[in-house]
Amino acid sequence: MERKLRITVGDKTREVTVQELGADGHPLPAAVAVAAIAAAPQRRPLDPKWSTIQRDTNERMSHMLPYLTRGSKVFQPADTVAVLNAVIRSGDRVNIEGNNQKQADFLSDCMCKLDPKQINHLHMVQSSVPLASHLKAFELGIAEKLDFAYAGPQGAAVAKAITLGKLKLGAIHTYLELFARYFIDLTPKVSLVCAYEADKDGNLYTGFNTEDTPLIVEATKFRGGIVIAQVNKIVDKVQRVDIPGEWVDAIVQSPKPFYLEPLFTRDPGLITDTHVLMAMMALKGIYAEYGINRLNHGIGFNTAAIELILPTYGEELGLKGKICQHFALNPHPTLIPAIESGWVQSIHSFGGELGMAEYCAARPDVFFVGPDGSMRSNRAFSQTAGHYAIDMFIGGTLQIDKYGNSSTATAGRVAGFGGAPNMGCDSHGRRHGTPAWLKCGEEFTDQQNLLGDVPRGKRLVVQMQETFQEKMASSFVERLDAWKLAEQAHLDLPPVMVYADDVTHILTEEGIAFLHRCKGLEQRMAAIRAVAGYTEIGLQAKPAETKSLRAAGLVKTPEDLGVDRRRANRSLLAAKNIRELVDWSGGLYDPPARFRNW
């Protein structure tokens, strides 16, 4: 028969554990017991003066408690608005998880059903605002202020809400910058996150789409905040504990799985011959020239074209094993042929890409796959990797000004940057050397002029951009639309995605401008004009000047690079459509319905 023994020392009483019993089944002598009690973890009652956050949270959670199923953290979908009403107070900083991939859409919808008379002036701090419901909270007067990184499809709605006085904009951040502020001055009080699975204790499986969850939960919970999760499924045992249940206060199984945007899927069918030409120039003029082995690719068709000519043109140039071995990159479907051909050693991902989960799980040598057999993405870590440990960022933009500053902001659209600027910049905290980084630094005339004889490297930041986009929109402009936007939306400064002093190369169909090799701003501007084609900037180029820039190796045309224009053809693509990507993957890639056009 089991007997419970209690021991009292001073004003403390507790049960005696088995370990504290002597061999004869009696408690150990008092002295030993006192020591055991002293050593046991005890929580002192907190001084109310120093625990206001915790007491406030406890008080709010007591209103939520009646909705939780007994013995668990689970509440019913129908009670979601009531739960949010219980824990959110006017003026709170609130985070709704959502980035450019997964979205806590059900919780966001429910937050819009709160009564704006009761709950208002919320300060939203969140990676992105791509859902209509994110903006609706502002239109309804529930939310008032926004600090974010990316708006995507809601860029126009954000601009409009600012103009109408419905939304006060804090700042447009990069992902890492915003994440950093969660731990300094923008810590959320309540965070609404999402996961694939939860158990009744709140352990979360975020899996392939782990993305921002660990960071949001850590920032919130360790400052006494409240974490509520919507999950696709409540299970007895989660596949893997990505977030410990102790850090999650309540969970709900959402009526529909969370929304997932296939943002990084590019249909090879839409890659043009011009993209192929530019991809050939990139491989010969930059990847091979610098031996780029650690990198990040933007999401456009230009970089998709590079990925797809690695197994063809890249192979022909003998570059396999010399370039493109380590990526900080989402699982781009267009990289499948290069992976399958043995080009890539490792890829760490910011997020999961819809349809790629099985493929990644089946390639654990390449992707970061857990002991449970599924990949784990993590935006904060991947952004950190992209900031410190890659030698090149290459990607597109919308506008480049005559100095080389670039922005995706256009008048009337507050699009944000997401993570691009964390990679599209030089990381000034970097101290380790690689051949590519050192070579670029050596060539960076203006930097070297400020350093004397001390060597320092430089990340390659390549803006790869056709001179004209759809509808004859010019990529090269006298002045960025970002200035106009800054005025309209009362921003502190024009939202620049990549600053001119960070850019090393501008690659257009006309050629590559090696900006970091130039001396001073005037020469940089001349090099930009030389590759700006028939745009207003390009038309200012003087033929004699362009000729001397080419002679000095500051500008290189396809002919200078030995790129044969006849071969700039879609036939160089290792896969010409989504169907061929599926074939390359051995059927493991499962493209979203909208890309299944066969």
Partner 1 sequence: MALNQLHFEFAPATPRAFPVAAVHYGVVGSGDMEVIIEACALAGKTQVTVTTPVTGFDHVWQLVLGRFIDESQLADAHISINDNNATPVVVSLRLRQALLEIGE
CB of 131 or CB of 568, closer to partner 1: 568
Minimum gap (Å) between residue 568 Cβ and partner 1: 7
Minimum gap (Å) between residue 518 Cβ and partner 1: 24
Nearest Cα neighbor of 284 from 563, 53, 498, 544 is 563
CA distance 401 to 269: 31
Mode of pairing for the β-strands spanning 168-172 and 143-148: parallel
Minimum gap (Å) between residue 558 Cβ and partner 1: 9
Copy the structure tokens of residue 74: 């689970």
Minimum gap (Å) between residue 557 Cβ and partner 1: 11
DSSP 8-state secondary structure symbol assigned to residue 410: B
CB of 285 or CB of 457, closer to partner 1: 285
Is residue 482 within a helix (H) or strand (E), and if so which, with residue range? helix 481-488
Copy the structure tokens of residue 547: 């000729």
CB of 449 or CB of 569, closer to partner 1: 569
CB of 249 or CB of 510, closer to partner 1: 510
Footprint of partner 1 (CB under 8 A): 272-274, 277, 466-470, 472, 509, 533-534, 539, 565-566, 568
CB of 92 or CB of 466, closer to partner 1: 466
Copy the structure tokens of residue 58: 């406890």
Region of 101 on the Ramachandran plot (φ > 0 left; ψ -120 to 50 alpha; else beta) = alpha
User: What is the phi/psi pair of residue 132, to 5°?
Assistant: -60, -35
Minimum gap (Å) between residue 544 Cβ and partner 1: 14
CB of 68 or CB of 282, closer to partner 1: 282
Q: Answer for the pair 28, 45: CB distance below 8 angstroms, yes or no.
A: no
Minimum gap (Å) between residue 564 Cβ and partner 1: 8
CB of 185 or CB of 536, closer to partner 1: 536
Distance from the Cα of residue 364 to its chain's centroid: 22
Minimum gap (Å) between residue 470 Cβ and partner 1: 8
CB atoms within 10 A of CB 597: 11
Minimum gap (Å) between residue 286 Cβ and partner 1: 19
Nearest Cα neighbor of 294 from 447, 435, 443 is 435
CB atoms within 10 A of CB 43: 5
DSSP 8-state secondary structure symbol assigned to residue 283: I
Distances (CA, A) of 456 to 247, 340, 446: 43, 36, 12
Copy the structure tokens of residue 508: 């257009």
Distance from the Cα of residue 250 to its chain's centroid: 26
Minimum gap (Å) between residue 272 Cβ and partner 1: 7
Query: Bridge partners of 296?
Result: 393
CB of 11 or CB of 470, closer to partner 1: 470
CB of 69 or CB of 569, closer to partner 1: 569
**In 339-371, which positions are buried (b, 16+ CB within 10 angstroms) versus exposed (e)?**
bbbebbeebbbbbbbbbbbbbbbebeebbbbbe
Minimum gap (Å) between residue 274 Cβ and partner 1: 5
Minimum gap (Å) between residue 318 Cβ and partner 1: 24
CA distance 386 to 388: 6
Helices (H), 70-197: 80-87, 105-111, 132-139, 155-163, 175-182
Mode of pairing for the β-strands spanning 555-556 and 511-514: antiparallel
CB of 98 or CB of 558, closer to partner 1: 558
CB of 25 or CB of 543, closer to partner 1: 543
Q: Answer for the pair 545, 502: CB distance below 8 angstroms, yes or no.
A: no
